[in-house]
Amino acid sequence: MLKVVKFGGSSLASAEQFKKAGDIVKAEECRRYVVPSAPGKRFKGDTKVTDMLYACYALAEADKNFSKELSAIKARYQEIMDGLSVTLDIDGEFKEIEKNFKAKAGKDYAASRGEYLNGKVMAAYLGFEFVDPADCILFDENGDFKPQESNELLAERLGKTAYAVIPGFYGAKADGTVTTFSRGGSDITGSVVSRAVNADIYENWTDVSGVMVVDPGIVPNPAVINTITYRELRELAYMGATVLHEDAIFPVRREGIPINIRNTNAPEDPGTMIVESTLKKSDYTITGIAGHKGFVSVNIEKDMMNSQIGYCRKILSAFEENGVSIEHMPSGIDTMTVFVRETDFEAKEQNILAAIHKYAKPDMIELESGLALIAVVGRGMKSMRGTAGRIFSALAHAKINVKMIDQGSSELNIIIGVKNEEFDEAIRAIYNIFVETQI
Amino acid sequence: MLKVVKFGGSSLASAEQFKKAGDIVKAEECRRYVVPSAPGKRFKGDTKVTDMLYACYALAEADKNFSKELSAIKARYQEIMDGLSVTLDIDGEFKEIEKNFKAKAGKDYAASRGEYLNGKVMAAYLGFEFVDPADCILFDENGDFKPQESNELLAERLGKTAYAVIPGFYGAKADGTVTTFSRGGSDITGSVVSRAVNADIYENWTDVSGVMVVDPGIVPNPAVINTITYRELRELAYMGATVLHEDAIFPVRREGIPINIRNTNAPEDPGTMIVESTLKKSDYTITGIAGHKGFVSVNIEKDMMNSQIGYCRKILSAFEENGVSIEHMPSGIDTMTVFVRETDFEAKEQNILAAIHKYAKPDMIELESGLALIAVVGRGMKSMRGTAGRIFSALAHAKINVKMIDQGSSELNIIIGVKNEEFDEAIRAIYNIFVETQI
C-alpha cells in the first residue's frame, strides 16, 4: 500500500494545523509522498500567503519597495517553524527570493515560493527528503503542462527516495523558468505524483469531510457523499460544486487510482472516495445535487420542424457562430428550446436571433431569462425506478414550477430548469425527499 | 352562421348511412356546402369504393377485361340510390367512365370517380347543386395543389349557389387532367371549401365522436377531447394519432375557422372542436397522449463536451448528412442522446457512427434499440404545477423504467422514452392517473 497525501492551504495555515497534518502522515507508514500547498487563512479575514506573494511581487515589478511585505511573509513561516520547533536557514531563502524579485523572475516564480517554503518546512518537520518540482514537473514554452515527460522525470526522481515532500502548484520550463498551474493547482501536483509513484490512493486533505450531497450554503450541514465516480463528480463540478481542481482528475483517472477527500480537522471521518467505477451503491439513490442560476431559454417554434432534416443543426449554428456554448436543448414536436448562460448570451442576443431567423425561418422565438438549472446526479438512478417521480412530486409539493426537464438515456442525471427565485427551494425539496425523509 | 360539412367514407357507405348524413344536413339550415367522400366499408372485410376503382383501373391499364369489376362498383351506387329512392342517369356515367378507363385517363381520374359519383347521388338526394371540383380546385403540372388560385375560383363559383355538394379528394390541372390529393384528401377539400366560403365552422363528420385522449387500441373507450388547439393536434398527430389529413389544417387555420369533428352515428355528441387558441381548459389537465414504437437512442459521451462550442452541432451534422431526421436530443453534462426512428437509422447506422467519430471524436457511443416515445400533450400543463410529478409517479407505480425525459420551456408537452414492451402499459398508466382517477 502506497499513499500520496496532499494538504490544502487551510490544513497548513498555522503550526497547530501543521501538527495535525504531521500526525496524519505519521499515522500510516504508507503515507510516503507529501504534497503541501502554501499556508492558507488562519482565521476569517486573514490573507493567504500566495496572495501576499502576488501583492509583494507586484510592488517589486513596479520598482517599489517591498521589504515590509516580504518580512510579513517571512513572519508567517517563522511563526509556523517556531510552533513546530523546526530550524531552517530561512534567512538565506528570503535573501534569494528578494534578489529574484528584484531581478523580476516572474509572477509564477513569486507565487510558487509559498509552496516551496512550505515544502521545506514540511520536509524538515517530517524528516522527509525535499524534492523541488522545478526539477521534475515540466511545462512547455507556452506554459502548458507536459504530462508524459513530467511523469518519467518524477518517477525516476521519486524512485530514488522512499519518503519525500514535493511542493504543489509549480514546476518549470526546460530553461528553468518557474511556472505554475492555475490557482488550486496543488491538487494537480498531488495527482501527477500519485501517477508517477503508482500510488494505491491519492489522499487529498482539506477542511471538509468530503464532497457534500449539496451546497452547504443552501442546505446547512448536508450529508457527505461516501463514494462518487469521476463522471458524477464532473457533472456536479460542472454545475457549480467546487471540490478539486478539474485538471487533477485526469492523471489518476487514467491509472485507476482513487482519490480520497479527507478532513485534516476530523481525520476519523472516512471522507469521500472518488473512483472510476464502483458497484457500491449511493446511500441515497442520488449521489449529489448541484446547480447554477443565470440561464436564458430561447424557445423556437416552427410548423413541421420535426419533419425537416437538419433543422436543429441550423439553429445550433446560429449559436456556434457567435461563440455561445449550448447547455441543453430539450425539444417537443415542432419546438425546441436552447438553454445558454445569460452572461454568454446577453451581448450576442440580437446577432443570434438574426442568425436563427436567417437560417431557420422560425414561426416564433420566445426568450426567457432568470432561469436556473439543477442537475440531480446519481449512478443509482438507473436501477431505481421512480426517481423521476420522486423528484417531480417533491417539486410539485414545494409549489415549484418546472420549466424544463432533460434526461438522456445515460440515466446518470436529470437536469431540471426552474426560475432563479425558486432555485434554493427546489434544491432543498429534492435534498429532503432523498436524504432527509428517504421515502 | 355558415357551415361546411364533410362526410367520411363510413358515413356514406350505404343508403342507411346516407340517410343519417342527409338528416344531419337538413337539421341545420346553415349546413349549406357538403363535401362527400366515396362510399367506405359497410362492414368489416368490405372493400372501399376507392380501392375497387384502383383495382378496376389497374386491369384497364393492363388491357385486361374489367367489366365485372366496374359492374360491382356500379352495384354499390345502385344499392345506395335504391335505398334513397334517388333516380339518376347512372348508366350514362358508367359508360363515360368505361370509355375513359379504356383511354387510360389515369389513376387519379379513376380514383376520383368514387367521390364524383357520390357527390352526384348526394346532390340529387339533398336537392343541392352539384359543383365539380375539376372546374375549381387547381393543381400545377407537378400535381401540387395551388391554394390561392383554387380559393379564388371556388369563392367565385360557390358565390353563385347557396346550397351545393362539392365532391372531395380531387381537382384538375389547367389542361383538365383530373388530379387527386393524397389518400384521405377529402379532409383537405372540406378545408379548402370552408376557406373559400368563409365558413364559421368546418364540420368533419366521421365514425367516432371526436379526437380521443388516447388510442382506443390501447385504452378501450377512452374519453373524447372536448377542445384541442391546432398545435396540440399536430403534436398528437405527429406521434401517431390519426384524425385528419395533416394538410387539411392549414387552409382553415390561416382563416381562424374551427374544425368540429363529429360522429355521423351519434350526431347528439358535441365532438371535438379544433381551434387556433382557446381559454377553455382541458377536462383532464392533459389534452391527449400519443406515442410510437420503433426508436433508437444513440448515446454519446465525451469528457468536457459541455465546454466545447459547436460539439452538438457536429454530432447533428453526422445524422443530417445521412438524411436521418432527429426526433429528440436530451443532454446531460458531457453526454447527449439522439433519438431517431429505427427504420431511418438502420440502413445508415455504420455511416452515421463513422461520421460521429470523424467529426466529434467521442469517448463512447452506445446504441439502444427497441424504444418507444410517448408525448403527453396539453396546453393546461403550463398552469398546473405537478403534472410531471403525477406522470412519473404513475409510471413508477406501474414499474416502468423511464429511459428519457424531454420537456422544453414551451411546456406544451413532455416526451417520455420507454422500452417498446412497456409502451402500452406506460400509456395506460398515464391515462389512468389523469382521466380515470384524476388525482
Query: For the segment A83-138, what is each residue's pLDDT rounded down to a tens digit?
Result: 999 999 899 999 999 999 999 999 999 999 999 999 999 999 999 999 999 999 99
Whether the pLDDT of residue A384 is over 70: the answer is no
Q: Do B389 and A412 touch (CB under 8 A)?
A: no
Mean pLDDT lowest for which of A168-182, A194-208, B167-181, B248-262? Answer: B248-262
User: Residue B344: what pLDDT?
Assistant: 92
Q: Do A238 and B396 touch (CB under 8 A)?
A: no
User: Residue A209: what pLDDT?
Assistant: 93
Pick A299's closest partner by Cβ from B335, B408, B417: B408
Q: Which amino acid is at B230?
A: Y
Nearest CA in chain B to A388: B392
Nearest CA in chain A to B384: A401
Whether the pLDDT of residue A60 is over 90: the answer is yes
Whether the pLDDT of residue B149 is over 80: the answer is yes
Cβ pairs bridging A and B (under 8 Å): 212
Residues in contact with B191: Cβ distance below 8 Å, sequence separation at least 6, in sequence order: B202, B248, B249, B250, B251, B252, B259
Residues in contact with B75: Cβ distance below 8 Å, sequence separation at least 6, in sequence order: none
Residues in contact with B347: Cβ distance below 8 Å, sequence separation at least 6, in sequence order: none
From chain A, pick out residues whose CB is under 8 angstroms from the CB of B235: 332-334
Mutate to test the interface with B, among A326, A333, A365, A416 (most CBs of B within 10 A): A333
In the 3-class helix/strand/coil scheme, how is B163-232 assigned residue by residue?
Answer: CEECCCCEEEECCCCEEECCCCCHHHHHHHHHHHCCCCEEEEEECCCCCECCCCCCCCCCCECCEEEHHH
CB A38 within 8 A of CB A9: yes
Q: Mean pLDDT, to the nearest integer, of B394-410?
A: 86
Q: Do B385 and A375 touch (CB under 8 A)?
A: no
Highest mean pLDDT among A357-366, A371-380, B399-408, B419-428: B419-428
From chain B, pick out residues whose CB is under 8 angstroms from the CB of A425: none
CB A265 within 8 A of CB A224: no
- Residues facing residue B130 across a β-bridge: B165
Residue by residue, DSSP assigns A295-342 as EEEEEEE-TTGGGSTTHHHHHHHHHHHTT----B--B-SSEEEEEEEH
Extract the runs of DSSP E, i.e. beta strands, from A37-145. Answer: 129-130, 138-139
Nearest to B205 by CA among B93, B122, B124, B294: B122
User: Residue B384: what pLDDT?
Assistant: 67
CB B411 within 8 A of CB B381: yes
User: Residue B439: what pLDDT?
Assistant: 60
Q: Which amino acid is at B228?
A: I
The cell numbers describing B136, all together, are 375549381
Q: How far is CA B86 from CA A142, B6, B7, B15, B345, in A?
A: 94, 21, 19, 10, 54
Pick A326's closest partner by Cβ from B235, B312, B408: B312
- pLDDT band for A158, please (50, 70, 90 cuts): very high
Q: Do A335 and B404 touch (CB under 8 A)?
A: no
Nearest CA in chain A to B399: A385
User: Residue A383: what pLDDT?
Assistant: 66
Mutate to test the interface with B, among A231, A232, A253, A313 (most CBs of B within 10 A): A313
Whether the pLDDT of residue B410 is over 80: the answer is no
- pLDDT band for A171, please (50, 70, 90 cuts): very high
Residue A145, classed as helix, strand or coil, is: strand
From chain A, pick out residues whose CB is under 8 angstroms from the CB of B399: 385
Q: Do B334 and A403 touch (CB under 8 A)?
A: no
Q: State percent of chain A over pLDDT 90.
A: 75
Strand order in the sheet with B178-180: B138-139, B170-173, B178-180
Minimal C-alpha gap between A233 and chain B (Å): 11
Q: State percent of chain A over pLDDT 70.
A: 98
B60-66: long-range pairs with CB below 8 Å, 24+: B60/B101, B60/B102, B60/B104, B60/B110, B61/B104, B61/B107, B66/B101
Minimal C-alpha gap between A202 and chain B (Å): 21
From chain B, pick out residues whose CB is under 8 angstroms from the CB of A391: 389, 392
Whether the pLDDT of residue B150 is over 70: the answer is yes
Note the pLDDT tens digit of each residue in B10-32. Answer: 999 999 999 999 999 999 999 99
Mutate to test the interface with A, among B300, B364, B407 (most CBs of A within 10 A): B407
Minimal C-alpha gap between A101 and chain B (Å): 37
- Residue A280 is classified by DSSP as P
Q: Do B389 and A385 touch (CB under 8 A)?
A: no
Note the pLDDT tens digit of each residue in A301-329. Answer: 888 887 788 888 899 999 999 999 989 99
User: Residue A280: what pLDDT?
Assistant: 80
Rounded to the nearest angstrom, the gap between the alpha carbon of residue B345 and the centroid of all alpha carbons in its chain is: 25
Higher pLDDT, B246 or A422: A422
- pLDDT band for B50, please (50, 70, 90 cuts): very high
CB B212 within 8 A of CB B224: yes
Find the length of chain A. Answer: 439
- pLDDT band for A174, please (50, 70, 90 cuts): very high
Q: Which residue has the cell 416564433?
A: A364
Minimal C-alpha gap between B5 and chain A (Å): 26
Minimal C-alpha gap between A409 and chain B (Å): 5
Run of H or E including A365? strand A364-377
From chain A, pick out residues whose CB is under 8 angstroms from the CB of B297: 408-409
Q: Do A235 and B332 touch (CB under 8 A)?
A: yes
User: Residue B47: what pLDDT?
Assistant: 96
Higher pLDDT, B308 or B101: B101
